[in-house]
Amino acid sequence: MDERSRSSRPRSSSRDRSVGRPPREGSRGAARRGATRGGRSTAGSRPRSAEGARRRNLAAGPRRPQPLMVPLVPVVAFLLVAVLSSVLLTRCVMKPRIDEAREEATAAKKEAVSLRNQVDRLEEEVKSAEAQASAQGLDSPWTSTGKFTSGDDTLDKEVKEFCDANCTTDQTKEDAALAVYTAIAWSDYVERDDAQHPAGANWRIEYARKYYEHDCSGNCYEFAAFLMYCMRYMGYDDALCQGVEIEFEGGNWGDHGIVFVTNTDGSECLCDTARGVDGWMLGLGVYNYRIMDFETA
């Protein structure tokens, strides 16, 4: 083709070229396309650098994390349903039962209070009856009233048991009383540390019980105290145990326990268990003595 024919062809503008066909690719584009075609690299391909990968990652922005809470939504929903069901069950089904149980508990408490009040009343009645019985005393075949009391229910029973075991109603009052005195006089004499110093208004009851509750043994104070109540049970109403200071042979004085009593013939006597059977109904002049005051000691 000559020069004229070449010059006679119209030239396409840049606009026409861009519209009519795609622009040519350079050698680099062809090389990249060839490298990626078929998933295989070619001899002309170039490996991507780490710096380029880092730049592309930065340009793409941060990756969105996977929504971890999505699997928990059913679990939470199930729990909420369970809680609501439990609340509804409690309000609709269990509440009437709870109210009924509370009413039963309240009724039981009221019944318990009522029973307690009844028990208290019965206890008061029993105490009142016991007080009346104590005031009247135990039955005695020897007293003029047919009753005996020491003022202590336990001691009353102990005295009656001892006297009834050592005498009989077939005996006379004097013989029965002597039999009881002899049984006490022949008891074991024992000195105990807690029975050396009588004191107080009720020392006679205290020492009488010590004698009986220590297998009928003790010292002169315990013997005399128990003998006093036994003689009262036997009908000697004025029998009285006293602590005294006695002048012994040689001029020495010592403390002692004896019983003063009026004999059946009206004479004033004393009984001293320390002298055994010979200590029954002695005259007051047998000793030189001074009475000691234990009640206010």
| pLDDT for 207 | 96
**pLDDT tens digit sequence for 218-248:** 999 999 999 999 999 999 999 999 999 999 8
**pLDDT tens digit sequence for 6-31:** 444 545 444 444 444 555 545 454 44
**Residues near 140 by Cβ (< 8 Å), separated by ≥ 6?**
146, 147, 148, 160, 233, 234, 235
Q: Which of 136, 156, 190 is the last residue of a domain?
A: 136
**Residue 63 belongs to some domain of the structure:** no
**Residue 125 belongs to some domain of the structure:** yes
Hey, CA dihedral for 42, 46, 48, 52, is it positive or negative? negative
Paired residues of 244 in beta bridges: 256, 291
Residues 226 and 96 in one domain: no
User: Whole-angstrom Cα distance, residue 191 to residue 202?
Assistant: 20
Which of 57-61, 169-173, 238-242, 263-267 has the weakest average pLDDT? 57-61
Residues 230 and 283 in one domain: yes
Q: Which of 83, 111, 136 is the last residue of a domain?
A: 136
Residues 146 and 127 in one domain: no
**Where do the H-state alpha helices sit in the chain?**
3-8, 14-20, 27-36, 50-60, 72-89, 95-136, 153-166, 173-185, 203-213, 220-233
Question: Which 3 state secondary structure label does DSSP give 263?
Answer: coil
Mean pLDDT of the chain: 80
Residues 150 and 276 in one domain: yes
Question: Which 3 state secondary structure label does DSSP give 226?
Answer: helix
| pLDDT for 71 | 66
**pLDDT tens digit sequence for 67-82:** 555 566 777 777 887 7
CATH number, domain containing residue 179 = 3.30.2140.20
Mean pLDDT of 269-297: 92
**Residue 87 pLDDT class (50, 70, 90 cuts):** confident
**Residue 53 belongs to some domain of the structure:** no
Q: Taking a C-beta distance cutoff of 8 angstroms, is the pair 185, 277 a contact? A: yes
Q: Structure pTM?
A: 0.56
Provide the residue range defining the domain that includes 98.
Answer: 74-136
